[in-house]
Structure 1
Amino acid sequence: MKNVTVTMEDSVAEWVRLEAARRNTSVSRLVGEMLAEKMRHDDAYERAMQDWLSRERTWQTDGQSYPSRSESAT
């Protein structure tokens, strides 16, 4: 574990203190959990994007633009 100093606006500090109290945890633990969740979310998004980009494309186009929504509904 690393200790860090975080600078934030007074209103944000007040909110995080209240939120930590509501969750019966410390500000430090709450901020750490929020950052860990953000990291997991970003990592999952990056993996999904890389998976999508690495897929072999099965659709082909002859260079024409896609049909409009009204054209494709018929």
Structure 2
Amino acid sequence: MKNVTVTMEDSVADWARMEAARRNTSVSRLIGEMLAEKMRHDDAYERAMREALEFKSIGKSDGRYPSREAINDRSLDRQSP
């Protein structure tokens, strides 16, 4: 483990001391746990974003969107099978 010095506003330090006491831990451990959670959250977000950007649609497409007319063409719905 590494020791670091953190500079913060007095009001933030007061909150951190009270929050650490409420959780029955030290301010140092509280900050370390908060940063570790932030790191896990950011890593999960980055992974999900990468997977979403790599997503390939199922089926074939010529890359063009259908026209409004084609989407709303109700005559296809009226044809019997």
TM-score under structure 2 length normalisation: 0.72
* Counterpart check, 1:62 vs 2:65: yes
Percent identical: 70
Rounded Cα–Cα distance in structure 1 between residues aligned with 2:28 and 2:17: 10
Q: What is the one-letter code of the residue matched to 1:9?
A: E
Alignment match, 1:11:
11
Quote the offset at 1:64 in angstroms: 5.8
Alignment match, 1:47:
47
C-alpha spacing 1:64/1:14, structure 2 compared with 1 (3 Å)? farther
Rounded Cα–Cα distance in structure 2 between residues aligned with 1:53 and 1:7: 38
C-alpha spacing 1:13/1:64, structure 2 compared with 1 (3 Å)? farther
Give 4+ residue runs of structure 1 displaced > 2 Å after superposition.
57-65
**What is the alpha-carbon root mean square deviation over aligned residues?**
2.2
Runs (5+) with no aligned partner, structure 1: 66-70
Q: Tell me the number of residue pairs that the alignment of Structure 1 and Structure 2 aligns.
A: 66
Quote the offset at 1:24 in angstroms: 0.4
TM-score under structure 1 length normalisation: 0.78
Q: What is the one-letter code of the residue matched to 2:31?
A: V
Rg: which structure is higher? 2
Runs (5+) with no aligned partner, structure 2: 73-81
> Deviation digits for residues 29-62 of structure 1, max 9, x if unmatched?
0000000000000000000000010111347543
Rounded Cα–Cα distance in structure 2 between residues aligned with 1:8 and 1:30: 14
Quote the offset at 1:63 in angstroms: 7.4
